[in-house]
Chain A
Amino acid sequence: GAGVSQSPRYKVAKRGQDVALRCDPISGHVSLFWYQQALGQGPEFLTYFQNEAQLDKSGLPSDRFFAERPEGSVSTLKIQRTQQEDSAVYLCASSPRDRRLRTIYFGEGSWLTVV
């Protein structure tokens, strides 16, 4: 596709359930980012990949959060034992070159509601 694609767009999970959120970056993009956006707030950095290497995971809020990008393309953000405070929009972004902030393209996000 032409842009960053995320799925599912909407997910309702029961507390304690595991969820997996998928990101298809723009083809050929080297850098991939995950951000978390709570309602009424700005996005907050979670993790960064350069190709398949996860270079920074300092923003992941707990060890229940795990991200991977095994082949340097599609990425999955997994949240184990979801809790209500995990409810947020999870944004994926990609960039064609290493750390080029000006050319970061965001997807439309995966809206997670934990009930």
Chain B
Amino acid sequence: GENVGLHLPTLSVQEGDNSIINCAYSNSASDYFIWYKQESGKGPQFIIDIRSNMDKRQGQRVTVLLNKTVKHLSLQIAATQPGDSAVYFCAVPKPNSGGSNYKLTFGKGTLLTVNP
């Protein structure tokens, strides 16, 4: 099966700093990765995704880096704001599963706290 884990369960940063959230995955066949943000009392919200043919993808204030050699990806948030406080999950669909690639395996999550 797929194991998706995070190195740090909690991260506390000052407003304006950059944040880096890490994620490790176990299945080298995984070819698509998604980062979600989950605020307290809400459902996960899509942030950014990346395919395995890329090693970097940028969005608005967020960047995802993928290192397939060590099976690691990270989410970087620039100029972190209080509104970024949430739990962040990486998720991967089941690889090489034909029609079952809709099944997402989520990591445990990292709680990001932004101090004003």
Q: Residues of A with Cβ closer than 8 Å to B?
A: 4, 31, 33, 35, 40-45, 48, 55-56, 59, 91, 93, 99, 101-104, 106-109
Q: Which residues of chain B are within 8 angstroms of A107 by Cβ–Cβ distance?
A: 43
**Tally of A-B residue pairs with Cβ under 8 A?**
57
Interface of A is mostly: mixed
Report the minimal beta-carbon distance from A86 to chain B, rounded to whole angstroms. Answer: 19
- A-B interface, 10 closest residue pairs, ranked by CB to CB distance from nearest: A42-B106, A106-B43, A99-B102, A45-B103, A106-B44, A42-B89, A43-B106, A108-B42, A108-B43, A107-B43
Q: Residues of B with Cβ closer than 8 Å to A?
A: 4, 32, 34, 41-46, 49, 89, 91, 93, 99-109
Whether B46 lies near A104 (C-beta < 8 A) is yes
Whether B102 lies near A44 (C-beta < 8 A) is no
Q: Which of B45, B91, B100 contacts A42 (CB 8 A)?
A: B91
Report the minimal beta-carbon distance from A26 to chain B, rounded to whole angstroms. Answer: 12
- Nearest B residue to A95 via CB reads B102
Whether A101 lies near B34 (C-beta < 8 A) is yes
Whether B104 lies near A101 (C-beta < 8 A) is yes
- Nearest B residue to A44 via CB reads B106
- Nearest B residue to A104 via CB reads B46
Whether A48 lies near B43 (C-beta < 8 A) is no
Whether A42 lies near B42 (C-beta < 8 A) is no
Q: Which residues of chain A are within 8 angstroms of B44 by Cβ–Cβ distance?
A: 43, 91, 106
Q: Which residues of chain A are within 8 angstroms of B49 by Cβ–Cβ distance?
A: 101-102
Whole-angstrom CA separation of A56 from B101 in the bound complex? 11
Whole-angstrom CA separation of A48 from B103 in the bound complex? 8
Whether B46 lies near A102 (C-beta < 8 A) is yes
Report the minimal beta-carbon distance from A71 to chain B, rounded to whole angstroms. Answer: 21
Q: Which residues of chain B are within 8 angstroms of A43 by Cβ–Cβ distance?
A: 44, 89, 104, 106
Report the minimal beta-carbon distance from B52 to chain A, rounded to whole angstroms. Answer: 14
Chain B CB within 10 Å — which of A4, A59, A108 has the most?
A108
